């Protein structure tokens, strides 16, 4: 029988810049009777990683450009947030109907380039994505002595309604499982099948991490994987292979 156990940690405190996130996660797991060991995959919401690393921006320090002011006025947005989104963008994919889809400096394509004000105390602050979420995941894996860490964020998807968690940082496992060259049960050779394993794991973990309940960490036990350093970069499709760019 194949089974997974996913447990959300409910007792983490509000994370602040400079906090030792690994220590706080381990303390919460201990309080809740959960075990973190080399067989555990720890899924951590990007928001608390950004908070602990100080990836917080005081919007009062932002001087919006005339373009940001004009666009914000048209769509009833905060011009400071628009300016921050533009600064976090390598490329703007689409700006329409008050929505900005942008490619971040990491290569992720996301709404608002990952800039977010939800679950951030005060009305004048926003979080941005960690500078290097793979490094963040690696540091947490070392601190927790677990099998793998995946940093997750919530993205929309083209052609489908709703948001899902996706992996933006990975350490301890390959983010994708390349099945090309293997065979299905009928013996047919697979030529294009690559499974986004890290995305599947964090999407499942998202069910145990309700945002309104303040559950930013989940532990996954029972999943078998091949140990590897891994990187979220393997989930980014190269421009030359992307038919929609």
- Domain limits of the chain? 5-53+130-234, 57-126
pLDDT in tens, 78-129: 999 999 999 999 999 999 999 999 999 999 999 999 999 988 887 899 999 9
How far, in Å, CA of 122 to CA of 116, rounded?
13
Which of 230, 4, 25, 226 is closest to 145 using CA atoms? Answer: 25
Which CATH topology does 57-126 take?
CofE-like fold (3.90.1660)
Half-sphere exposure (Cβ direction) of 158: Cα atoms closer than 13 Å? 7
Spatial neighbors of 77 by CB under 8 A, at least 6 apart, are 71, 98
pLDDT digits (tens, 9 = 90+) for 162-212: 999 999 999 999 999 878 888 878 888 878 788 999 999 999 999 999 888
Give the model confidence (pLDDT) of 136-152 as tens digits: 999 999 999 999 999 99
Q: Which CATH homologous superfamily contains domain 5-53+130-234?
A: CofE-like (3.30.1330.100)
Question: Residue 29 CB: number of other CB atoms within 10 A?
Answer: 22
């Amino acid at each position: 029988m194949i089974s997974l156990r996913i447990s959300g940690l409910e007792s983490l405190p509000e994370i602040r810049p400079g906090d030792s996130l690994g220590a706080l996660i381990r303390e919460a797991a201990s309080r809740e009777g959960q075990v973190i060991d080399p067989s555990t995959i720890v899924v951590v919401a990007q928001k608390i990683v950004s908070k602990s690393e100080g990836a917080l921006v005081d919007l009062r320090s932002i001087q919006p450009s005339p373009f940001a002011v004009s666009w914000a006025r048209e769509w009833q947005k905060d011009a400071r947030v628009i300016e921050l989104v533009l600064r976090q963008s390598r490329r703007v994919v689409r700006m329409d109907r008050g929505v900005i889809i942008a490619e971040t400096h990491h290569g992720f394509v996301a709404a608002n380039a990952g800039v977010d004000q939800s679950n951030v105390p005060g009305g004048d602050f926003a979080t941005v994505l960690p500078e290097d979420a793979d490094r963040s995941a690696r540091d947490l894996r070392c601190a927790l002595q677990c099998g793998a860490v995946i940093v997750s964020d919530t993205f929309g998807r083209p052609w489908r309604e709703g948001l899902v968690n996706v992996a933006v940082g990975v350490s301890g496992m390959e983010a994708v499982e390349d099945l090309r060259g293997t065979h299905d049960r009928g013996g047919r050779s697979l030529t294009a099948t690559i499974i986004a394993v890290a995305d599947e794991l964090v999407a499942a973990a998202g069910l145990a991490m309700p945002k309104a309940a303040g559950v930013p960490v989940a532990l996954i036990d029972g999943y078998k994987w091949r140990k590897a350093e891994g990187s979220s970069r393997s989930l980014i499709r190269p421009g030359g292979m992307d038919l929609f760019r």
